Every structure is written in C-alpha cells, then in structure tokens.
C-alpha cells in the first residue's frame, strides 16, 4: 500500500456523459478510505491556475444522472509547456496532493504521462470520450450514451425519410474512429456506413441505392463518420444526387447533440466502477496506468500503450453490417 493521503481529480478534453458518475465514485471511494479528495476545475488549466477545491461526499450528491462534468473541462495549451507543468506541480504541492486521477481521452493521457515522468506524483487515467477509441478498454465513458442519442435521432429521421421516400445522409462524430458510426449504423438499420478506417466507393454506394430502389425500398439511411475517407457528408450526398437525379437526397449532421444528455445506465455503472478502481489503484501505489474494462473485468493498461496502440474496429461487426444492409 502507498502513503497516498490526498487525491485530486480532473476532467480534460471533450466532455462525455458519465464523467460526473466517475467523479462521484472517485470522491466517495476516497472519503470511504479516509483520504482527502480535491476537484480541479477546467482540467489541466485549473492545475496551472490553482483552481483546486476540497470535495466531500455531499458535494457529489445528485450528479450521477447529469451529463457534462461538474468540474468543467478545457484543452490546455499552457500545460504543453515546461513552465505550465511546473506551475501545475507547484500547486499540487501547495495543497499536499500526492495522487491524481485524470478523466479524458488520448490527449489527457498524454498530458498525464508527461507530467508523472517529470514529477514525482502518481497519475491514473479513466477513459472519458464518446469516440471509444482508447486502447485497453472495450468501452469508454460516454460511448453508450452517445450511440443511444445518435440512434434516437436517426429513428426520428427515419420517420420523415419514409414519409417522403428520401435518402438521408446522417453525419455522426468520429474524426479518426468509426465506433460511433458503426454501432449507430447497425442499431438503426442503415443501408450503408462510411468509416474513417475503410475506403468506401461512392459509385458502389450509388449502385447499391439503385438496386434498393428497384426492390421498392424507396427510402434509405446512410451513416457517415465525420472523418471518413470519402469526403465531407454534403459532398458525398451531392455526388449521389448527380448520379441519381431522381433521388430525393437530404443531409443531417447530428453534431454535439451526441455529447450531451443524461448518461445511460451502462455509462453510469461503467464510470462508477472505473472511478472506484482508480482510487484503489493509487492506494496500491500504481501510476501511469489507464483503467479499462475488458470482458467485463477491470483492467490496467500502461499510459504509453493506451496512447500509442491502435484500437481496431471489430471486422465481424463490419461484415455483419454489410450483410444486414442488403
């Protein structure tokens, strides 16, 4: 067991539903073990600004169901500098904080890794990102809520697509990762899915849509990840319209709607398990590790691997999606 007595927790980068559940778990697990726990406002910027406040169990009451993060979040250019990290460390020392839990994505982990390498303070990370693209965990905090939000939106778009016999191109988040697009496409019964990880030929899609029309399938839904390799969603839709002037083609971009809202039960439980495990890991003396969940078991992955190793899409799911879209 380590000599950890005071733990700080922060959220960094893009917000994700379930972050509050993770904060709650970190705070209450710390209090249970007679540790002092502090919340850092606005991520690494808050460390530099010294915006650090003591948290008690009552401070995290009634937040498990809330989206966003009560600690706020930010991307910090100053933390990328040597001077910024030195100031952040000095503020931790001034508050006698000897352990840090960071909740966020790849950039958050990278900042935590560099910080712990430069200074003698243990850091543990939780995967808080709707993209679900972090290596070392089957699911990241916020992913389940994001795809449920996206599918709910697509279901409503389906109603108008059916009523008007339209083809809708629906853009979801995912600049470098197609997890949201793939799961949204399967869950909504989409006719095609554009992913960042795979090339998709627009001419092939056009032919597929024409075949569907011949089978009297007069409307269709195409899910497009924002970072797909075939181009912007509006441009893909424009090309399909040029090839098929008879089609009624529309575009909807769901956007940041996917980041907000009440977290699902899965995200609340996932975040709670991870937050609880993060405190226990610090108490055991662990550092530089990312908490994950694989096959429903809590796992620990070195920051370096979580940052640099690629989490691949499930090829069986991609093939299944293609078959079911026929």
* Residues annotated as catalytic (active site), given as ranges: 131
Distances 155 to 89, 170, 184, 190 between C-alpha atoms, Å: 48, 11, 10, 10
Are the beta carbons of 119 and 99 closer than 8 angstroms? no
Tokens of 234: 């509006």
Are the beta carbons of 146 and 229 closer than 8 angstroms? no
Q: Which residues of 294-313 are buried (b: 16+ CB within 10 A; e: fewer)?
A: eeeebebbebeebbeeebeb
The residue with tokens 């975040």 is 271
Distances 200 to 38, 95, 193, 224, 270 between C-alpha atoms, Å: 48, 53, 9, 11, 34
What is the spatial distance between Cα 24 and Cα 265, in angstroms, rounded to a whole number?
15
Distances 138 to 82, 141, 179 between C-alpha atoms, Å: 34, 10, 11
What is the spatial distance between Cα 117 and Cα 110, in angstroms, rounded to a whole number?
11
The residue with tokens 């697990």 is 29
């Amino acid at each position: 067991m380590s000599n950890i007595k005071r733990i700080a927790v922060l959220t960094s980068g893009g917000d994700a539903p379930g972050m509050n559940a993770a904060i709650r778990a970190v705070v209450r697990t710390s209090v249970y073990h007679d540790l002092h726990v502090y919340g850092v406002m606005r991520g690494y910027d808050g460390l530099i600004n010294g915006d650090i406040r003591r948290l008690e169990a009552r401070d995290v009451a009634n937040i498990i169901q809330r989206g966003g993060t009560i600690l706020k979040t930010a991307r910090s250019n100053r933390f990328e500098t040597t001077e910024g990290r030195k100031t952040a460390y000095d503020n931790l020392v001034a508050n006698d904080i000897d352990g840090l839990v960071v909740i966020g994505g790849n950039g958050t982990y990278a900042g935590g890794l560099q910080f712990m390498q430069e200074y003698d303070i243990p850091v543990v990370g939780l995967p808080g990102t709707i993209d679900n693209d972090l290596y070392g965990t089957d699911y990241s905090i916020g992913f389940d809520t994001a795809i449920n939000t996206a599918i709910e939106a697509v279901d409503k778009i389906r109603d108008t697509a059916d009523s008007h016999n339209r083809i809708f191109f629906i853009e979801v988040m995912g600049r470098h990762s197609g997890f949201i697009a793939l799961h949204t496409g399967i869950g909504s019964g989409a006719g095609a899915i554009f992913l960042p990880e795979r090339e998709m030929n627009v001419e092939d899609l056009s032919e597929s849509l024409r075949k569907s029309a011949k089978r009297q399938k007069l409307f269709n839904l195409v899910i497009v990840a924002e970072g797909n390799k075939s181009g912007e969603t509006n441009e893909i839709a424009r090309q399909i319209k040029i090839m098929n002037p008879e089609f009624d083609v529309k575009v909807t971009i769901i956007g940041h709607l996917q980041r907000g809202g009440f977290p699902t039960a899965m995200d609340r439980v996932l975040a709670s398990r991870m937050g609880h495990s993060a405190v226990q890991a610090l108490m055991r003396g662990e550092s530089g590790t990312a908490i994950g969940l694989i096959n429903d078991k809590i796992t620990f992955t070195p920051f370096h691997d979580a940052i640099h190793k690629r989490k691949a899409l499930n090829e069986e799911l991609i093939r299944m999606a293609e078959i079911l879209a026929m």
